[in-house]
Every structure is written in C-alpha cells, then in structure tokens.
Chain A
C-alpha cells in the first residue's frame, strides 16, 4: 500500500494552548506558497486565514464536566470529497504520500471544494482569492536542508504537549499507526465515508482504587508515637479467667 501521511492528535494531552495555530500561521505565511492574509489585524473583528484552529467544547454538566480542546485542520482524507469536485484540478491528492493539496496557480476560487468538505477544513484567502488549507508542511517535510528530526509539520514541532504525532498511517509499524491501535484512535464524521487520514486519540482516565484495608498498615506511624489507643492494662483479659 502506498504512503499516507497524517497527523494523530491526542486529545488526552492537548491543553488548548494554540501553539499549533500560530506556529502554522507563522510558517505558512512566510512560506514559499505565499502569505496567509489577515483582515483588519488591528481593527474590529480581526480575521485571517489559518490552516489550523483549536476549538473548545464542554462535555457533560457540572460538576461532571469535561473541557475538550480540539485542534482541527485538514484531515487529508483517503477519499477526499473536495478533490473530485474541483473543476480545474487545483485540488489534488498526491499519490506518493496522500497529502491533499491545492495548486494555488490553478485555483479559480470557486469555493466548490469548501462546500464539498464536511469538516470546514478549507479557507479562502480573501486577498489571494484562492482556496487554502493545511499542506502538512509539505515544504518542510521533504526539505533535505533541514535536519531529519525537523522534517515535520511546524505544528508538530511546536506542540508543547506533543499532542500531535506525524507519520504514515499506512505503515502498520509507524508511531502513528501504533498510537491509533493502542489508544483507540478514531476518525471524525465516519458517516460520510471520507476516511480521514488524520486520527484523534480520545481522553483516557487514570483512577486509583483504594480499599479500606490499604489505609492502615502495621507500620502506621501513629503507633510509634503511641497515639493509637491502647487498652487499659487492668481491663479484663483472657488471662483473668482462663487457665491452661
């Protein structure tokens, strides 16, 4: 099977710090593919093109509330619905590594691909007027000028909790495949058959179960200091009533 590069995002450790958001913006706005524009950067309702967002959801009701930080970018579907609808061929999925890309030179900005993406992963750059999305930092991951350890997407490099894993999900032995297997990785909106390459790892809960008998031990320090009550020596005992 051919390669399918993807991100695996571990919701179990994501603290919602937005490092992936701005490191992505920073890399890509200065990248070879051109800027990511920002409108009204210092005005009302500032808005700009970002490939990556971190969202926050609350699950459950107080006090049993989970706060889930949820990073979201293009999922690089195995069967990307955005690609076949593109009238110009600007949207394409690379055969060699499964990355879904947009050729900005061919894009006519018809937005049809964004309609065809159930995940809202695409953003029209309001000033280049072409559709943009996560490229998995294709301009980093094959750059032989970078040390091998750094040939990873900018968000993966940045993530302080290493909640973002990067690799080939078709390689059963890769770290990402193992993480998906071991931690129950799942895909978003499986109902559409898009087979996203990116996976998410769910929250896991570590609990301690204590039994009553674990609380007190023979070496309880209270005994050393004589604080556990000792019975009165004079109180009746077996010795008072029995002979052997």
Chain B
C-alpha cells in the first residue's frame, strides 16, 4: 500500500492523545486508590487541553484524506457495519468526554464526577483504539493487517506514546508522579515492543494467499503480466504501491524500531533521572517521529492483492 500521510498523522496523533488521556486518568485513579497524591487540577485540565489538541490535530489531518471533506458528516451513517463509521462516531464522543473531564477538573477538581467522566473517557479511548485498529484488521485480504495484533499494537503504541508524553507532562505539572509515570511508560513501551515484534515476525512468515494464478484463474506455474491495460498509471497504481525498494523498507523497519523503542527509553531513563521535562519531551518527539515511520511502514509492508493485476506496462 502507499502510505497516506493524512492517515499516518491521524492515527499517531489520536493514538498519542488517547494514550495521554489514559495516563491522565490512571494518575487520578491511582491517587483515588491512594497509591499517590492527587496531582493538581491543572495537571488534568491542561492535560486534557493537550489531549484535545492532539485529537483535534489528528481530526484535522484526517480531512486531508477525504476527497469530499464537506460531506464528512455523512460518514457516521453506517455504524452498524463500518469500523470507519464507528471511529467517526467514537472520536467526537471521546473528545467530548475528554473536554468534559478536563472541564470538570478545572471547575470542580477531582471527584466522583471526574472519576466517572474519566472512566467513560477511558472506555471511549479504548473503543477508539479498537475502531481504528479494526479499520485495518477487518480487511481479510490485507493479511499483514488482518490480525488482533493490529488492534493491540494501535493500542499499545498509542499508549506508549501517550504515557511518554504524560511523563514529560508530569515533569512539568506533577513531579511527584514522574518516576511512577516513567516506570509505567517503560512498561507499556516494552510490552508494545514485544507485540510489535510479534507482528513483524508474523508478517515475515506470511505467504500471500492470492497469486497470479488465482488472480486470473489460470493454472500454470509461470505467468507474467505484460500489460496492465494502460501506461500512464491509474488510481490502482498510485494508491497501492509505495514504490520503494526492499532495502529501503528494511532500513525503515530498523529505523522505526530504534526510534520508537530503545532511543526514547534511554531518554526516558535520563529524563526521569534528571527530572528534565525537555529531555522527556525530546523523548516523546523522537518516539513520535518513530511512530510516523512505524505507521508508514505499517502501510508500506501491506501487500494488497490488487497489486497482482498491476505489474507491468508495455
């Protein structure tokens, strides 16, 4: 597939936003369970502003994906069967929950209301992860995507990124939480590494179910396309081919593995030790860059069976 930048930004930005919200709520929940002191209202309310900013930016990016953005409202119609439609519904609901949660913290501070609103928000965040992940995971012939790992990784990578941001946020607003946040972040990130690794291992072992033989229904070991029917390209050649070499793809893979996992973790350790929010913020940005690359790779490595029909011109 050819990676679509609007979608890369959408999923990474809202993923970070969702993760951050989960982290914020965890902070409140932990405090409610008396594991630690309740952070300031500002930690929550401004944190929610941060979450909304990420979600808003993601939403904004998503419009670039649409041919007819003015009709975007129509996309909520098919919630009964379309994961995309569900995402479109859940995202604003989640944003509303985040806004309400932040507002409640701002106006009344932590309490039953925030606990309830936040709980709903977390549920929506998780649901949103499921919706986003399922958009890809539900397509059976994109074998690289068609696995629970897709949903799990959207969730874990979003959380890792959000938790990392929450650590930096804690360094600014709730220093007491810093070490705990860092520890949680490290934990989530490591689990994400395992699961992303698992997905990569799975991908490597995938054998395409569709072949030229099944694509055109001719049973012969040697089939080669000579003409795809047009020479100057079409939607099918523009949107489903990344056009990069295998070596480039491998480089990208190692690049994102490095940028998403060990490097931010190192910075996380340093930042937490130094209690330096700029180092932690850098860790987040570095990882976010890595996630952009990861998402690019997620698209690029998916081999769409339609590509069998678009192999040669002459």
Residue from the set A54, A66, A115 with the largest chain B CB neighbour count within 10 Å? A115
Residues from chain B with Cβ under 8 Å of A40 in the complex: 232
Also in contact, A53 and B72, with CB within 8 A (given A118-B141, A120-B236, A202-B217): no
**Nearest chain A residue, comparing its CB with the CB of B232:** A45
Contact A47 B209 (CB under 8 A): no
Query: Which of these, A47, A56, A66, A110, contacts B227 with CB under 8 Å?
Result: A56
Residues from chain A with Cβ under 8 Å of B85 in the complex: 87-88
Contact A110 B84 (CB under 8 A): yes
Contact A190 B226 (CB under 8 A): no
Contact B67 A107 (CB under 8 A): yes
How many B residues touch the partner, as a band? 35 or more
What's the nearest-Cβ distance from chain A to residue B70, in Å? 9
Residues from chain B with Cβ under 8 Å of A45 in the complex: 231-233
**Nearest chain A residue, comparing its CB with the CB of B69:** A108
Residue from the set B67, B72, B222 with the largest chain A CB neighbour count within 10 Å? B67
Q: Is A109 an interface residue (CB 8 A)?
A: yes
A87-B87 Cα distance, complex, nearest whole Å: 9
Using a CB-CB cutoff of 8 Å, which residues 80-106 of chain A contact chain B?
Answer: 81, 84-90, 106
Contact A57 B88 (CB under 8 A): no
Contact B225 A56 (CB under 8 A): yes
Contact B82 A56 (CB under 8 A): no
A120-B239 Cα distance, complex, nearest whole Å: 10
What's the nearest-Cβ distance from chain B to residue A181, in Å? 16
Using a CB-CB cutoff of 8 Å, which residues 103-128 of chain B contact chain A?
Answer: none
Q: Is B149 an interface residue (CB 8 A)?
A: no
B interface, over-half SS: loop
Contact B67 A130 (CB under 8 A): yes
Residues from chain B with Cβ under 8 Å of A120 in the complex: 236, 240, 304, 306-307, 309-310
Also in contact, A112 and B239, with CB within 8 A (given A47-B230, A88-B74, A191-B209): no
Q: Is B212 an interface residue (CB 8 A)?
A: yes
Contact A86 B78 (CB under 8 A): yes
A54-B313 Cα distance, complex, nearest whole Å: 12
A202-B85 Cα distance, complex, nearest whole Å: 40
Inter-chain residue pair count (beta carbon < 8 A): 180
Q: Is B135 an interface residue (CB 8 A)?
A: yes
A40-B217 Cα distance, complex, nearest whole Å: 34
Contact A68 B218 (CB under 8 A): yes
Q: Is A129 an interface residue (CB 8 A)?
A: yes
Residue from the set A54, A68, A187 with the largest chain B CB neighbour count within 10 Å? A68
Residues from chain A with Cβ under 8 Å of B65 in the complex: 110-111
Number of A interface residues in the complex (CB < 8 A): 63
Q: Is A114 an interface residue (CB 8 A)?
A: yes
Using a CB-CB cutoff of 8 Å, which residues 208-267 of chain B contact chain A?
Answer: 209-210, 212, 214-218, 220, 222-236, 239-240
Query: Which of these, B76, B78, B225, contacts A55 with CB under 8 Å?
Result: B225
What's the nearest-Cβ distance from chain B to residue A157, in Å? 20
**Nearest chain B residue, comparing its CB with the CB of A203:** B218
Contact A112 B236 (CB under 8 A): no
Residues from chain B with Cβ under 8 Å of A86 in the complex: 78, 82, 84
A60-B233 Cα distance, complex, nearest whole Å: 27
Give me 18 other A-B pairs in contact (C-beta within 8 A), A47-B230, A55-B228, A58-B225 excluded: A18-B229, A40-B232, A44-B232, A50-B230, A53-B230, A55-B309, A57-B218, A59-B222, A86-B84, A108-B69, A116-B139, A120-B304, A123-B236, A130-B68, A131-B67, A188-B216, A191-B210, A202-B218
